[in-house]
Structure 1
Amino acid sequence: MNSDSTFSDAPFLADNLALDFINSEYGVDDKRHDCFIDDQSVADWLSRAEVLPDINGQQLPDGLLTEARELRDTARNIVHAAISGAPAELAVINRVLEVGCPIRKLEWHDDVQHFRIAVYQNTRSPSGLLWPIADALVSLITSEKFEFVRQCEAHDCILLFHDLSKSHRRRWCSMATCGNRMKVAAFRSRKKAD
């Protein structure tokens, strides 16, 4: 793993929060990059994904990096198991769902004079900050559209994506990167054969 990677390197091209989270570890061949190098890089990724609640200067919970990596590995295993129709270990995902579950409260809203449901995310534990990822994963793998989750067809790419195109014929994580590389390689192969 290249420890010089940062959250800004993380590709957001999967059309799904959980898959983008899994893709925070990426690369081709044996050159892998991990965007999570410390607790702050995980928080930065969550902020970029627009799921980090306002923590009002509060310190990040200890163990965020460890739990994020554990959740990412588990999520990757669950997605691959779901694609192949096999069981997977669910303890980590279920723990994050249980421990991190936001608290819903009924409150009176003075400004408009009616009741509303307020949702408070648990910001004191890593599971609380990672709960939106776990929730997105559960929604994805139980969705009827899960069948459109794909792994990039480039032989050396590990990225996953949710093919939401109209024809469901998307083949690569990104046409600008892997799609172009594979088309150039195919062209060269054809030219060499001539």
Structure 2
Amino acid sequence: MSEHNIEETAPRLVGDNLALDFINTEYGLGPLHREVLSSDQSVVDWLRIVGALPVEPERVPRGLLALARELRASARALVEARRVGRWADPAVVNQVLARGQRPAELRWDASAKDFRIERQAGALDASGLLLPVAEALARLLVDVDPTLVRQCEGHNCTLLFQDITKSHRRRWCSMAVCGNRMKVAAFRTRRHAG
């Protein structure tokens, strides 16, 4: 894969929320459409990049890409439905939440002289690897004001973000990219009008 292709499918981590960054692994319209999740390994790589890989898998589980894309489609539908106060089917998210659980055990850490929770690593299946994303989505849907989940106002930008600014007036996925483009376009419009 060329360096150019890597850049074209690089994750856009602008959502300020793990679930939204996961939804944003597919973005852009028409010829600008990008897909970050292209293989089972790419899903593991994305989880590693965002710090959500529960454990380093002994092997990449088969079917991870298919489940990740199904979870992403469900996540997008759930977020969009909640933003307008409608119901959407949470079956895929619930499947990952139920199947992704790993047994935990309370253990004494002698070096730290304190207790810690240790999850059994084992061979994780696809649901186990995607559990942090499903948990983040559940927290987003339950705990975050839906008016603070927005789509970038940039022309043809499909990225979602959680507005965590103090004033709650964030409009763009990135001020450096979409925000700057919109300000330049507005300046040109004003200049040609005057």
Partner in structure 2 of residue 38 of structure 1: 39
Partners of 1:99 and 1:7 lie apart in 2 by: 33
CA distance in 2, matches of 1:137, 1:22: 10
1:28 positional shift: 4.5
Partner of 2:118, secondary structure, is strand
Cα deviation digits, residues 68-105 of structure 1 (max 9, x gap) = 11111110111101101000011100000000023222
Q: CA deviation at 1:110?
A: 4.1
Letter in 2 for 1:147: T
Deviation at 1:145, TM superposition (A): 3.7
Separation in 2 of the partners of 1:130 and 1:37?
A: 16
Alpha carbons of structure 1 residues 69 and 5: separation in structure 2 relative to 1, 3 Å? farther
Question: Is structure 2 residue 62 aligned with structure 1 residue 62?
Answer: yes
What's the CA shift for 1:9? 0.9
- Tell me the number of residue pairs that the alignment of Structure 1 and Structure 2 aligns: 190
Q: Deviation string for 1:19-62 (max 9, x for gaps)?
A: 00111111245521000111111111000011113336x11000
Judged with a 3 Å threshold, the aligned counterparts in structure 2 of structure 1 residues 9 and 144 are, in CA distance, closer, same or farther, namely: closer
With over 3 angstroms needed to count, the CA separation of the structure-2 counterparts of 1:6 and 1:89, relative to structure 1, is: farther
Unaligned runs of 5+ in 1: none
Residue 106 (str. 1) matches residue 99 (str. 2)? no
Q: Give me the whole-angstrom Cα distance separating, in 1, the residues matched to 2:38 and 2:88.
A: 26
Q: Following TM superposition, by how much is the alpha carbon of 1:155 offset from its aligned partner in structure 2, in angstroms?
A: 3.6
RMSD across aligned positions (CA): 2.1
Structure 1 segment 1-194 matched on structure 2, within 5 A: 4=5, 9-28=10-29, 30-55=31-56, 58-111=58-111, 115-120=115-120, 123-194=123-194
TM-score (norm 1): 0.88
TM-score, normalised to structure 2, is 0.88
Residues 1:122 and 1:93: Cα distance change in structure 2 (over 3 Å): farther
Percent of paired sites with the same residue? 48
- Over 3 Å counting, the alpha-carbon distance change for 1:190 and 1:129 in structure 2 is same
Deviation at 1:181, TM superposition (A): 1.1
Matches of 1:93 and 1:7, distance apart in 2? 28
- What stretches of structure 2 of length at least 5 have no aligned partner? none
Q: Aligned in 2, Cα 1:115/1:9: closer, same or farther, shift over 3 Å?
A: closer
